[in-house]
Structure 1
Amino acid sequence: MTASWFITNIISALLLPPLVFILPSLAGFMLYKRRPRFGAALCVVPLIALVVFSTGIGAKWLAASIEDFAAPLTSAQASGAQAIVVLGGGRSRNAVEYGGRDTVSSPALVRLRYAAKLHRETGLPILVTGGTPDGSSESEAALMARALHDDFAIAAKWQEHASENTAQNAQFSAQQLKAAGIQRVLLVTDAMHMARSRSIFIHSGLQIVSAPTGFYSRAPVSPIDFVPNGHALYVSSYAMHEWIGIAWYSLRHGSAIRLMRDTTGPGVNVKHPAS
């Protein structure tokens, strides 16, 4: 486990639900006797926000704010891509039904399933990317390659094992792909993760065709969406994580990382202006 990965996760826990709502509420409770109005507002407003973003309707609204920057791919064959890049999406540790070995997480499996579909449509080779930031013995890329082989009968041509975050996914993947003469790729990741990932991969020098999957906000609204639940809070937390990530990369990389709406279509690449 790297120190940077551990610190990043601690900071994320403080900035994301539920702690981002609970901690201000506790502070308001402690301030109530000295400053009743301010303390009451600080206590109640975050709890209301927690309830709202724990509902399907609140989560859909928040997810839409970031998924709207990722248009679904309309034609993989018309994209002009030379390869498919699949970003790691976490691991399921000590999966006893698989002999106690780690395997890919549910979000990662969704990405791999879509990449397999694109591969069958286009015949393009696949690169899987993801390292071991948590100190595991196997990289996420190795787990993804095994799942592709075992579950979809597809061999990953390249595996990138060293990255600890999305920026390194892009940097190290670009090195392998450029060495193989690859410049233009289909990028597969979650719809909420696509806006940030696309900008970072373009900054690495690759030409990117977005291939988002796992859209949450497109599901129809139902009465149950107004009832708080844990999955909705997870989705809200994911969307907030992406907005924070976009803000962080924008501050860190300046004009090189820029949020942009993906309206270019499958055969056109957008490049950032030189910074």
Structure 2
Amino acid sequence: MSYLIFNKNHTKTKKVKFLTVSLTYLFFCPAFSNYLISKWEPIPDTNIPNAKIGIVLTGGIIREEFSTKNQIYLGDHADRIYQALRLYRAHKISKIIISGGDAEIQIDENKLLENDGARDFLIESGVKPEDIYQEKKSRNTRENALYTAELLKKEHLVGDLALITSAFHMRRATACFNKVNLNTTPVCAAFLGRKSKTGILDFIPKSLALRNLDYVINEWIGIASYKLMGYL
């Protein structure tokens, strides 16, 4: 903005203005956002092979700010826990690991943190408590993999693994688990991209397009930083 105000070269100023407006439009354009997201997210696989253990990564499963021990409110990425429940009911998995810690300290005893909320949701939905394991130390995807590996060893859990997380996050999650020698079958949830044909309304700017694209951009940054740190 300062460049546009103080630069006296009108030709360059016009070019910068045009570029700024064009990029702003693209980031808010559902057609552009959906195209990039659909190329990034894995293709949905409805033929999931049987596995013994399902690993669900937390992050947006439960609305912690509203949920209490008497009432659970699901978050934007609650499809993760639903996909685990669906596989359990279909007898494709027999054990479920909920992986992910909670950054904030639980001061209110009635407040329900995400990992516990996900567990309560599964139990309310018919999953046996003894079939649920909680990994509550991890704060990021790399630690999800590290501490899940520790839990599997500690609890003597053996069998094929299904990794359940949001589609936009699956590439980084799979790479992290591979790094700790855990081979998993990816089960994508909470797809952001749409399979429907692009229509005229998809070229009208919407804030939702930017929000969805932001998830993917954050993943690109996360993968780049993880590679630099040797996590992948």
**What corresponds to 1:140 in structure 2?**
114
**What corresponds to 1:75 in structure 2?**
47
How far 1:102 sits from its partner (Å)?
A: 7.1
* Contact 2:52-2:93 at 8 Å conserved across structures: no
Q: Per the alignment, do residues 158 and 32 of structure 1 end up closer, same or farther by CA in structure 2, a change over 3 Å counting?
A: same
2:215 corresponds to 1:244: no
**What corresponds to 2:26 in structure 1?**
52
What is the distance in 1 between the residues matched to 2:120 and 2:31? 37
2:36 corresponds to 1:62: yes
**What corresponds to 2:201 in structure 1?**
224
SS of 1:126's equivalent? strand
2:126 corresponds to 1:153: yes
What is the distance in 2 between the residues matched to 1:245 and 1:128? 22
What is the distance in 2 between the residues matched to 1:136 and 1:28? 46
Q: Per the alignment, do residues 102 and 40 of structure 1 end up closer, same or farther by CA in structure 2, a change over 3 Å counting?
A: farther
| TM-score, structure 2 normalization | 0.84
Identity %: 24
Q: Per the alignment, do residues 65 and 27 of structure 1 end up closer, same or farther by CA in structure 2, a change over 3 Å counting?
A: farther
CA RMSD of aligned residues (A): 2.5
What is the distance in 1 between the residues matched to 2:17 and 2:158? 54
**Gaps (5+ residues) in structure 2?**
none
* Contact 1:56-1:225 at 8 Å conserved across structures: yes
* Contact 1:127-1:157 at 8 Å conserved across structures: yes
* Contact 1:54-1:229 at 8 Å conserved across structures: yes
Q: 1:119-166: per-residue Cα shift (whole Å, max 9, x none)?
A: 11214210111111244555421121122223x222451111111111
**Gaps (5+ residues) in structure 1?**
1-25, 258-275
Runs of 4+ that moved beyond 3 A = 35-44, 98-104, 134-139
**What corresponds to 1:190 in structure 2?**
166
Q: Which amino acid aligns with 1:145?
A: R
Give the structure with the higher percent helix.
Answer: 1
| TM-score, structure 1 normalization | 0.72
Q: Per the alignment, do residues 136 and 57 of structure 1 end up closer, same or farther by CA in structure 2, a change over 3 Å counting?
A: farther
